[in-house]
Amino acid sequence: MSNTENIKLQFLGTCACDYSPKLENECKFCFDNDARRSSCMLIDECFLLDCGEHTLDSLDILKIPYDTISDIFITHTHDDHYNDKSIEKIAESKNEPLKLWVREGAQVPEITNVVKIEMKPYQKYQLSNGAYLTSLLANHDAQSFPQHFIYEKDGKKMFYGCDGAWLLAETYNYLRGQSLNLMVLDATVGDYEGDYRMAEHNSIPMIRLMLPSLKTNRTINDDTRIVLSHIAPSLHKSHAETVKIASGFGAQVAYDGLYLEI
């Protein structure tokens, strides 16, 4: 008999890299929907997906001891997703080595008590809790060795696609028929057309265009939760306004501290 357990997800940071100055003062010790921190997610209480300069603050706010983190999965090596100092602090707190998963070829410095694991695109890796993680190539700055992930456990599947614009053909084809339970999409740019970032990040109109095709491709279905993250506050209206816009096409908007189970 197998026990099926929900996947537990908590957004620790949902920003692009235009951080609010409020993080230095009134929001230093709390979450605020309009003062987002560097991109990061806690999965099943022991995995971090990305680890940027604000990740330790987020763990502190939630009173999560650093030594409960066993593995960190890095989407790419841009500063807002990968910060050696934060990783070093987590590694220091642990007796066991911290596992750091990066895409094959990504150059990251050696850190004491950290074991680097290189992931090959489109391969599935089993994790210590029995879940699986798959690396998928992403359409983003190639120098940063970008990858998207599928995290799956007990038949449930979550796709995480920050950062990246659209989907590469290979990834789109890999996702065919996956019937994901949840899809986290890069929504760096707000609800307007003509932004120059369209080859590296999504805007809301791009996501609106993609979702029906993802449904046709059976990557998602009527029950799939679509969550927008990696939001640049300077390119969006307020969080409340973005929530209203996203609800118009059935998506929700992540915010720092958001907890979800699938």
Binding of Zn ion at residue 99 (CB under 5 A)? Answer: no
Provide the minimum distance between the beta carbon of 237 and Zn ion in the complex, in angstroms, as a whole number: 20
Which residues make Cβ contacts (< 8 Å) with residue 148, sequence separation at least 6? 75, 135, 136, 137, 138, 159, 160, 161, 164, 171
71, 163, 186, 256: residue in contact with Zn ion (rule CB under 5 A): 163
Residue with Cβ nearer Zn ion (164 or 257): 164
8 Å CB contact between 111 and 84: yes
Residue with Cβ nearer Zn ion (86 or 224): 86
Residue with Cβ nearer Zn ion (38 or 70): 38
Binding of Zn ion at residue 71 (CB under 5 A)? Answer: no
Task: Enter the tokens of residue 255.
Answer: 């915010």
Q: Which stretch binds Zn ion (CB under 5 A): 19-27, 158-166, 205-213, 218-226?
A: 158-166
Binding of Zn ion at residue 186 (CB under 5 A)? Answer: no
How many other CB atoms are found less than 10 A from the CB of residue 198?
15
50, 71, 80, 191: residue in contact with Zn ion (rule CB under 5 A): 80
Binding of Zn ion at residue 50 (CB under 5 A)? Answer: no
Residue with Cβ nearer Zn ion (181 or 188): 188
Residue with Cβ nearer Zn ion (78 or 236): 78
Question: What SS3 state is found at 53?
Answer: coil
> What backbone torsions phi and psi does residue 181 show, to the nearest 5 degrees?
-85, -30
Strands (E), the chain: 8-13, 40-43, 47-49, 71-73, 98-103, 114-119, 124-126, 132-137, 147-153, 156-161, 182-186, 225-229, 251-253, 259-261
Provide the minimum distance between the beta carbon of 76 and Zn ion in the complex, in angstroms, as a whole number: 6
37, 54, 78, 148: residue in contact with Zn ion (rule CB under 5 A): 78
- Residues of this chain that interact with Zn ion (CB under 5 A) are 78, 80, 163
